[in-house]
Amino acid sequence: MINIAVMGYGTVGSGVVEVINTNGARINQRIGDELNVKYVLDLKDFPGDPVQEKIIHDFDTILGDDDIQIVVEVMGGIEPAYTFVKKCLQAGKSVATSNKALVAAHGAELLSIAAEHNINFLFEASVGGGIPIIRPLNSSLTADEIEEITGILNGTTNYMLTKMFYEGADYDTVLKEAQANGYAERNPEADVEGYDACRKIAILSSLISGQQVDFEDIYCEGITEITVEDMKYAKAMGTTIKLLASSKRYAGNRLHAIVAPCMLYPEHPLYNVNDVFNAIFVHGNVLGDAMFYGSGAGKLPTASAVVADVVDAAKHLNRNIMTMWKEEKLHLEDKADAKRRFFIRIKGDAGEMLPALKESFGEVEIVEVPELKGEFGFITPVMMEGDYETRSKLYKDQILHMIRVEDQK
Ligand code: HSE
């Protein structure tokens, strides 16, 4: 029998217990042994829930029990998760987690402790919910130099943007719906300000570079400024607006990483990724393109990935699955040097302003939404972001909003 402990009985923790109860027989077949949830650690009690007989409140019960070989951490947040996970690994217990904040901040260190003890620290559920992406990067795509990862990595904001785009729904209503559906973080600021997607792209960037990419170094812009008017321009241009988290390789191990709302044309593989779904587009130098698509948030999809990690840990009880992610920090390229087109909404009259705009930005393309009076939009040619910033200063009192355009290469 393989005994495990689950730390945290919230949305994902209860999902983990449910997945094991629902698919236990099949999971046991795959492990070749019987998986047993011995403890569930939580601050609260759950009277009336069958899990109550396993509930414990003291972490040391798990740490001190040599029967526990695998620990699931689904508490979220850095502390006490970090301290608990580190102690478990140092005690020779493998850990499976969905905690992206923990992985983004301490992934390299926790992986190296796991390697020292010949056990595993696994975190498939920390990016893309139920979509396999960590394991593919670690095993299936190891023949490639990954040149680009661009993803819709946050289910809450994708759900919100989809409803705003297709149904003209307002921001506050759709945020409440996402929270009611259990997609949003406890503090939804992490979703709407892009921080959640930023931690996830930091994890993916660390994996493709093999070095530590700090999420604090990644330029991050959320969806709080996206308005109904922006959506109207997007429609007029035949585009949609998505919150993209992207990491692109320039020469060698140099990455440009960014999280920002972007306009996408229908040819872009991420254009049709709607609702709570996530997708990760990967371009490898020998693979070419690949897309990973599926349920990116929510109780059971996330729990599915956590339990799959438990199965993997059970199959490799005394063998470390090597993951290349060193603690050495990777310095990201300056955002000012990234090249793209920009969509700008500006106050004024298109006919009158066109000559000046052409002089400043080059061959711009005008976009008009007849019902929006006293303003218009334009798209710049491809330019460096630093140049855009310099030139747009001339119009700082007129510019209403800038949204980046993500062209498919
Ligand atoms: N709040 C996150 C999301 C949960 O909406 O994607 C999954 O990480």
Give me the residue label for tokens 């506050």.
172
Any atom of ligand 1 within 6 Å of the Cβ of 160: no
Verify whether residue 200 is a known catalytic residue.
yes
Any atom of ligand 1 within 6 Å of the Cβ of 297: yes
Averaged over 356-375, what is the pLDDT? 97
Q: Which residues have a Cβ under 8 Å from the Cβ of 139 and sit 6 or more positions away? A: none
For residue 191, name the pLDDT band (cuts at 50, 70, 90): very high
**What DSSP state is assigned to residue 67?**
T
Q: Which amino acid is at 380?
A: T
Ligand 1 centroid–CA 389 distance in Å is 31
The pLDDT assigned to 398 comes to 98
* Average pLDDT in the chain: 96
- Say how far apart CA 17 and CA 385 lie, in whole Å: 47
Any atom of ligand 1 within 6 Å of the Cβ of 296: yes
The pLDDT assigned to 163 comes to 94
Averaged over 217-222, what is the pLDDT? 98
163 three-class SS: helix
Averaged over 285-291, what is the pLDDT? 97
Ligand 1 centroid–CA 183 distance in Å is 5
The pLDDT assigned to 252 comes to 79
Tens of pLDDT, residue by residue over 86-134, are 999 999 999 999 999 999 999 999 999 999 999 999 999 999 999 999 9
Q: What is the percentage of the chain residues whose pLDDT exceeds 70?
A: 100
- Say how far apart CA 224 and CA 226 lie, in whole Å: 6
| Ligand 1 atom closest to Cα of residue 159 | 5
Any atom of ligand 1 within 6 Å of the Cβ of 155: yes
Query: Treating both helix axes as pointing N-terminal to C-terminal, what angle do 155-167 and 228-237 enclose, rounded to 10 degrees?
Result: 70
| Ligand 1 atom closest to Cα of residue 184 | 1
What is the DSSP track for 231-299?
A: HHHHHHHT-EEEEEEEEEE-STT-EEEEEEEEEE-TTSTTTT--TTEEEEEEEETTTEEEEEEEE-SSH
For residue 409, name the pLDDT band (cuts at 50, 70, 90): low
Catalytic one of 100, 163, 200, 248:
200
The pLDDT assigned to 286 comes to 97
Any atom of ligand 1 within 6 Å of the Cβ of 191: yes
Ligand 1 centroid–CA 130 distance in Å is 11
Q: Which residues have a Cβ under 8 Å from the Cβ of 42 and sit 6 or more positions away? A: 8, 9, 13, 55, 57
Whether 121 and 89 have beta carbons less than 8 Å apart is answered as: yes
| Ligand 1 atom closest to Cα of residue 190 | 1
Any atom of ligand 1 within 6 Å of the Cβ of 123: no
| Burial (Cβ within 10 Å: 0-12, 13-18, ≥19) of residue 111 | buried
The pLDDT assigned to 408 comes to 77
From 123, 127, 134, 191, the mutation candidate for ligand 1 (largest count of ligand atoms within 8 A of CB) is 191
- Tell me the whole-structure pTM to 2 decimals: 0.97
Please tell me the residue having the least CA distance from ligand 1 atom 4.
Answer: 297
